Structure 1
Amino acid sequence: MYAKGQTVIQYMEQLAPKYLAVPDDKIGLQLGTLQKEIKHVLITLDVTEAVVDEAIACQADLIIAHHAIIFRPLAQLQTDTPAGKLYEKLIKHDIAVYISHTNLDVAEGGINNWMAEALGIEASDSLEDVHTDELYKLAVFVPKSHHEQVLHATLQAGAGWIGNYSHCSFNVEGFGTFVPQEGTTPFIGKQGQLERVEEVRMETIVPSSIRAKVIQAMLKAHPYEEVAYDLYAMDLKGRTLGLGRTGRLTEPVTLREFVTRVKNGLDVPNVRVVGDLERPIRKAAVLGGSGGRYWKKAQFRGADVLVTGDIDFHTAQDALAAGITLIDPGHHAEKIMKKKVAEWMKSKLQENRYDTEVHVFSADTEPFQFM
């Protein structure tokens, strides 16, 4: 059995929810349809002609990429232009293209975490906050006989986190009253008769990002035909996620040694470096893509070095004068996402017993040559 297109994307959005993307980012389905079976998926950083040719060769129905193929609204679609030819080839072979960009950067366990892990950075903070979960207090009234069942389902769905403490809840026993009216099929009691039932008021914390999931799990586990529950917005804020990652190294190294680590960890042949190669590096920051403008934020976070792509001349000058070192492995260092996304997708498809195959674009889409 093959997964439907919407199912494949549902798994992708579990890894990188769309709400994590920065405003106006071009993400989501950009070409084609998801209303079909997906026998083969191709994971790539960019969508180039070589990528599309490989997608055709492996009979891919869907390409999942990091960088968008449509950046601006199309005024016309001319098939005698490079972009037009690319779109035409995709459409003729019925290959859909889905983009996961800054949402994959921001996501916990996404590109910036993968890059930090590859560099031995114990990532803790982001460089710039993008999304903070609003918190809600969920209060549910449950018959005592089903309290543990409903509590377990609600917490398993992700409710009950306070900081690094999970399964947090508060439970008070009491009595609930109700009269089932005509047309009801009560779990407890009879129509027209006042019932007095031993119940538990169960309270827990629910982040806005999984509110629907938690409510659905609670309702499914609850035995009542009509469930009494309250949901209150709280002043407290939940988890904050953002662009980039900062953290300490397990042990200090020189900038020269850290450069070697960057080249090996991100699989790049060359890097550009700003700063004294013998300077000790204790804390580092990393940001996939073009992150030169974030050097001040990295310095504010206490980082000795910022690893990011596309650093321009004046940014390098300013950072050097301010005393922070920079390493530019190129924008293409984000290629780390290909293998990682493929591993995630394969595990999800296998877990749900789908025969859909996942492929990784093996060639390099780096536009620069180093001479």
Structure 2
Amino acid sequence: MLAKGQTVIQYMEQFAPKSIAVPDDRIGLQLGTLQKEITGVLVALDVTEEVIDEAIALNANLIIAHHAIIFRPLKSLQTSTPMGRLYEKLIKHDIAVYISHTNLDIAEGGVNDWMAEALGLRQTVPIEQTSSDEYLKLVTFVPASHLEAVRSAVWATGAGHIGNYSHCSFNTEGTGTFQPEEGTNPYTGQQGKLEHAAEVRFETIIPSSLRNKAVQALIKSHPYEEVAYDLYPLALPGKAYGLGRVGKLDAPVTLGEFVETVKKGLDVPTVRVVGDLQGTVKKAAVLGGSGSRYVNGALFKGADVIVTGDIDYHTAHDALLAGIAIIDPGHNTEKIMKPGVAGVLQARLHADKYTTPVHASIIDTEVFRFI
């Protein structure tokens, strides 16, 4: 059974929620429709004509890419221009294009985590926090006979976690009152008669990102026709999301040795380096894409070196003066997202018995050539 477009993207957004992207990022469906069966998914870093030809050959009618194909507002769509021809080809072959960019960078287990893992970084934290998933207190009132069913349903959504503890709740017995009016079909009691019901006040903690999911699970599992529940914001720090990663190495190495780790781990033949190749690296930072503005953040977090792309001349001089080394393997190292995303999506589709294949693009979209 082939998956619908909305189903594939639901899996994608569960992994890399749009809500954690930086403001104004060009993400989401940029071309085509998801109102169709997906014959194949192609995961690519960039959408080029060669990538489109690859999708056509694979019978893939959905491309999930990291870099947007529409970055600035279009004033016209002329098919005589290079980009116009690209859009025309996608439309003629009914290929939709969905973009997952900074949300995929930031996501737990996403681009920056894949890069950090490839470089052997441990105990990682973001270079710069971009948002947090604030906590809410969910409270409801349920008959004791249905308490376990309701608790289990709510906990199954991911609610009830405090640090390394799960299934956290507080439960208080009490008496609830209500009077069913005309047109009701009460679980207990009679229309027009005040009812006194023995109930349990069940309260637990949920991240705000799970609010809708937890409330839906509560309502579905609760026996009452009208479910009473409360949601309270909590002054507790939620899960932090951010760009880049800073982590420790298993053992100190020289900058020159770490360069070789970067080249092998990120699959690049050459890098640009700022710093003393004999200097010691104990803690490193990594950020996919353009990272010039994050060098100071990496330094503040105690990194001896930052691995990132598109470093400009003056940033390199400032870093050298400040005492942090830089390894610039280029922007294209984000290609690590191709097998990463393809693996995540294929596993989730397979688990739900869908036969839609997911392919990692084999097209090299690196535009620079080193001679």
Q: Structures share a fold, TM > 0.5?
A: yes
Please list the CA deviations of residues 142-177 of structure 1 after superposition, one character each: whole Å capped at 9, or x if unmatched: 110111111111111111122333222111111222
Hey, what does 2:34 align to over in structure 1?
A: 34
Equivalent residue, structure 2, for 1:269 = 269
How far has the Cα of 1:194 moved from its partner?
3.1
Which secondary structure does the structure 2 equivalent of 1:242 belong to?
A: strand
Q: Secondary structure at the match of 2:236?
A: strand
What does residue 203 of structure 1 align with? 203
What is the TM-score when the length of structure 1 is the normalising length?
0.98
Give the residue type in structure 2 aligned to 1:235.
A
- CA–CA distance in structure 2, aligned partners of residues 334 and 164 of structure 1: 31
Deviation (angstroms), 1:36: 0.8
Q: Does the alignment pair 1:162 with 2:162?
A: yes
- In the other structure, the counterpart of 2:357 is 357
State the shift of 1:18 in Å.
Answer: 0.6
Structure 1 gaps of 5+ residues are none
CA distance in 2, matches of 1:167, 1:300: 37
Moved more, 118-127 or 54-63: 118-127
Q: Where does residue 49 of structure 2 map in the other structure? A: 49
Q: How many residues align?
A: 371
Shift of 1:19: 1.0
Alpha-carbon deviations, 1:282-335, whole Å to 9, x = none? 111110000022111001001111010111111111101111011111100000
* Structure 2 partner of 1:183: 183
AA of the residue aligned to 2:55: A
Match of 1:128 in 2: 128
**Whole-angstrom CA distance in 2 between matches of 1:188 and 1:136:** 30
Tell me whether 1:94 sits opposite 2:88 in the alignment: no
What do the CA deviations read for 1:4-54 (whole angstroms, capped 9, x no partner)?
111111111011111111111111111111111101111100000100111
Output aligned runs, 1:292-303, within 5 Å: 292-303=292-303
* 1: CA distance, partners of 2:201 / 2:249: 46
Tell me how far 1:123 sits from its aligned partner.
4.2
In structure 1, how many angstroms separate the alpha carbons of the residues matched to 2:193 and 2:74? 65
- Residue in structure 1 matched with residue 214 of structure 2 by the alignment: 214
- Partner letter of residue 368 of structure 2? F
Please state whether the residue corresponding to 1:131 is helix, strand or coil.
strand
Aligned-residue identity in percent: 67
1:230 is paired with a residue whose SS is strand
TM-score, normalising length: structure 2: 0.98
Looking at structure 1, the residues matched to 221 and 252 of structure 2 have their Cα atoms a distance apart, in angstroms, of 51
Runs (4 or more) in structure 1 with deviation over 6 Å come to: none
Q: Which moved more, 1:115-124 or 1:239-248?
A: 115-124
Aligned pairs (5 A) from 1:323-342: 323-342=323-342
Compute the RMSD of aligned alpha carbons. Answer: 1.1
Residues 222-274 of structure 1: CA deviation (Å, up to 9, x unaligned): 11111111111222231110110111112222211211111111111111111
Which residues in structure 2 correspond to 1:62-77 (within 5 Å)?
A: 62-77=62-77
Query: 1:332 & 1:75 partners in 2: Cα distance?
Result: 29
Q: Distance in 1 between matches of 2:336 and 2:156?
A: 31
Letter in 2 for 1:183: G
Q: 1:136 aligns to what SS in structure 2?
A: strand
Aligned residue for 2:237, secondary structure, equals: strand
3-state DSSP of counterpart to 1:209: helix
- Distance (whole Å) between structure 2 residues aligned to residue 95 and residue 322 of structure 1: 48
Q: Is the 8 A contact 1:113 1:123 kept in 2?
A: no
